[in-house]
Chains A and B, each alone.
Chain A
Amino acid sequence: MQKILLILLYLLMAKTSIAQIDSTLFRRKPLDSTGMSLNMDAVYNRPFLSVGKLPVALGGYIEANYQHLGTDGISEGHQFQMRRFTLFVASGISRRIKFLSEIEFEDGTKEINIEFAALDIEFHPLFNVRGGVIMNPIGAFNQNHDGPKWEFVDRPVSATQMLPATWSNVGFGIYGKQFQKDWVLAYEAYLTNGFNDKIIDNSEGKTFLPAAKEDRERFEESFNGVPLVTAKGAIRHKRIAELGLSYMGGVYNKFQDDGLELDKRRRVDVVAIDVNSTLPRLRTFINAEWAWVYVDVPATYTQQYANKQRGGFADIVQPLYTGNLFGFNKSVINAAFRFEYVDYNVGRFNETGDNISDHYYAIVPAVSWRPSPQTVLRLNYRYSWRSDLLGNPLSKTAGIQVGFSSYF
């Protein structure tokens, strides 16, 4: 018994001594400020914290908010939401081998996801191999989605409700970059597990790529054995802009099982374009993404599930004030504005030839305060319009959202 007590006392003391580690040993890896980083770099361009010469760096971010939204006169009242708590662990295994993982707790613990857990091996700057759980590089937002980087409480609807951000899968691929004076060119290409037939058979009642995330087995086995191809090319000029063009496509249905044919192979294909730029002098930051989704829906199914979708968003962020505010020397106050649009069903009714509606659009004026580059406090006013499939009078939702997001 005494031995047990001694062991417990020893463990307690050891824990206390670790908790009292000298904080001067912490080193924070600074964010890339060369102006040459790309959206594809976002996964590593985070403020990691390392201790002494330990090869492991830690990081993460937190995102919480209050909102009061109403739809056509009916409000859900005051809502406090813990949107995300994300942990990063990175490790420089050797000079050209590194590992990073990102584990996210969404809406409390309602969703716990490994969003990224990949090993990178550099053979040449133009040829790196990445394997593990990767974020498919479709558009810009899917890879560059950390809350503290954005002035808006909600993620773009086109990125999360049309495209399936955050969309991660198990797979392997290659990527590389080439610098040439003020230019940087980059590419990525991956083969991963992919979608499943929930994208056209889900409780949303529409073609809904995010429904594929309900299949938790995709980290263990492919739904149909056909890899999803994702590829992206990007180009950036240091003083002008970054332009990205991406593609993701594969078979989403189970066309055979146990050697028996069940259906023809049905494809889902996505094309996205993204651009971002900071205007000189004004320092206005513009960031936009647009995507097209094509799905081979059986002709005998319901047109409620679209063959084609399109949508995107455009953000404008204007710094208004830079300087000391409440003792935060590097404070920045921004005015921001987002416009977003999604057409969930591009097409015409077989019965009438009329346009199928099912649109969503929103505007979000915002004010944000960044007491430090890693922390943002934001005040948004969101006003959105939603039409049903038939194009009946629009349903309107609006209200305020106040929240913060910070790396730690």
Chain B
Amino acid sequence: MKKIYLTVTIIVSGFIFLISCEKLEPKAPFDDEILDGPIEGLSTEQNQMFLRGDVAFNDDIFTKEKGLGPLFVSTSCGSCHAGDGKGHPFTTLTRFGQTDENGNTFLHLGAPQLQNRAISGFEPEQIPADATFSKFTPPANTGLGFIDAVSDADIMAMADPNDANGDGISGVPNWIALKGFITPRNSSITNNGKHIGRFGKKAGAYDLLQQTAAAYNQDMGITSTFEPYDTHSGQEIDPEVSNQTVHDVVFYLRTLKAPVQRNLNDGDVMRGKELFIQSSCGKCHTPELKTGTSPITALSNKTFFPYTDMLMHDMGKGLDDGYTEGTAKTYEWRTPALWGLGLSKNSQGGGYFLLHDGRARSIEEAILLHSGEAQNSRERYNALSQQDKQKLIKFLESL
């Protein structure tokens, strides 16, 4: 009789186990806890393209056979942008060789980007002794499609090159020359034949196609029809990644969702936002922008909250590395978007590596390293009580 009970118990337990299988699996994180995932409103065809781009971005690891290097920084896109978030000093880039708007004088020596790693049998690049350089921590990828879809007119409306309003803040665009394969946006604004850069620490890239093709080439040593020159030999070689894959990755980056703010109704967070605005932080880290018309319907005419004005600002001597891109000065940096800031630790190994080169290990340290046009805001922050400082930081962590 005991054996029958045992048998029945085993069968029933097994059956219950089987039918409850999904309940035994790990739950998905909440949407506001992660940075990856597509924007809402994509068509099924667009979903497929997003998935292809997701695989190419996060799963494709380049090897010698697939064209890696011979000089490189990283072996895949995803290794620099874990979970589509900010990068880590392990994958920080180094750029060198340009000190002013006259261009990079070290292109013949491997500039602008240092490939600090090499496959066996090759030696990685070294920074020439007389070249200045700057380190760039990989940025988060989220919401890039929204940034991409802001009209040039809206960016120019935020610019104040001569500080006409006398607030000490004078954002300017970085005017860059377009690569041959780039198609300018409709209604793009030009200055002496140059266009407004909007991606990268120095806003040195015009759009996500330029950014992506350059990353394949400069970060992984992968040539494409867009960037056909091998970074080591300088010779034009066969494409090592297809146009379709590059376009899929560009689409993936364009359609990654915007970070979702957390604890919106928390009293401290709300007060922190007020303090953020009162301290004039929001004059550069503009809370709200809107997109123009986009070929991707889900991105058209949307209001979003990136906390950036996409313009270049003087950040003072402390952040002047002596290197630049386009027409920007060496002390000018594009206002980084603050959205997703609170989730940075989840992609940076549990700690913060903030500012352009990851030198700030906390949000407060990053604030205190602001200078130049941001000096007044920093002083206002310093004047806050300890409690108010914590509320302001709590607000930033909620982004």
Contact = CB atoms under 8 A, between A and B. Distances in A.
Tell whether A pairs with B.
yes
Given A333-B10, A400-B17, A73 B26 contact: yes
A258 interface: no
Interface stretch (A49-57, A185-193, A275-283, A385-393): A385-393
B347 A390 contact: yes
Interface in B117-137: 117-124
Interface residues of B, number: 44
B11 to A, nearest CB: 10
B350 A205 contact: no
B27 A379 contact: no
Contact of A300 (B24, B83, B123): B123
Interface residues of A, number: 52
Nearest to A201: B63
A73 B121 CA distance: 43
Interface in B41-81: 61, 63-65, 68, 72, 74-76, 79
Given A302-B75, A392-B350, A321 B120 contact: no
Tell which of B88, B122, B347 has the most Cβ of chain A within 10 Å.
B88
A262 interface: yes
Contact of B120 (A204, A205, A298): A298
B77 to A, nearest CB: 12
Given A388-B82, A390-B82, A390-B88, A197 B120 contact: yes
Given A263-B120, A392-B350, A393-B346, A326 B7 contact: yes
A73 B33 CA distance: 13
Contacts of B76: 205
A132 B324 CA distance: 62
A202 B60 CA distance: 11
A349 B89 contact: yes
Tell which of B117, B124, B348 has the most Cβ of chain A within 10 Å.
B117
A354 interface: yes
Interface string B267-304: 00000000000000000000000000000000000000
B103 interface: no
Contact of B74 (A302, A323, A325): A302
Contacts of B79: 205, 304, 389
A300 B17 CA distance: 50
Contact of A351 (B18, B25, B90, B120): B90
Contacts of B74: 302, 304
Contact of A396 (B10, B22, B26, B349): B26
Contact of A397 (B21, B26, B68, B92): B26
Nearest to A262: B121
Interface in A324-348: 324-326, 333
Interface string B250-263: 00000000000000
Contacts of B64: 201
B3 interface: yes
A72 B31 CA distance: 12
Contacts of B157: none
Contacts of A402: 14, 18
B347 A392 contact: yes
Contact of B119 (A71, A202, A301, A326): A301
A253 interface: yes
Contacts of A300: 117-118, 122-124
Given A72-B28, A203-B63, A325 B3 contact: yes
Given A262-B121, A351-B92, A400-B17, A392 B25 contact: no
A399 interface: yes
A292 B120 CA distance: 24
Contact of A303 (B72, B90, B347): B90
Contacts of A321: 6
Given A68-B22, A263-B120, A354-B349, A202 B29 contact: no
Interface of A: 68-75, 197-198, 201-205, 253, 262-263, 266, 298, 300-304, 321, 323-326, 333, 349, 351-352, 354, 357, 367, 369, 379, 381, 388-393, 396-400, 402
17 contacts: A68-B25, A70-B25, A71-B26, A73-B25, A75-B25, A201-B63, A263-B121, A323-B3, A349-B89, A390-B88, A390-B349, A391-B349, A392-B82, A399-B24, A400-B18, A400-B21, A402-B14
Given A75-B25, A392-B347, A400-B21, 19 more contacts: A74-B28, A202-B63, A205-B76, A263-B121, A266-B120, A298-B120, A301-B119, A301-B120, A326-B7, A349-B90, A351-B88, A354-B349, A357-B349, A367-B10, A379-B14, A390-B90, A390-B350, A399-B21, A399-B25
The 6 closest A-B pairs by CB, nearest first: A73-B28, A70-B25, A390-B349, A396-B26, A351-B89, A205-B61
Interface of B: 3, 6-7, 10, 14, 17-18, 21-22, 24-29, 61, 63-65, 68, 72, 74-76, 79, 82-83, 88-90, 92, 117-124, 346-350
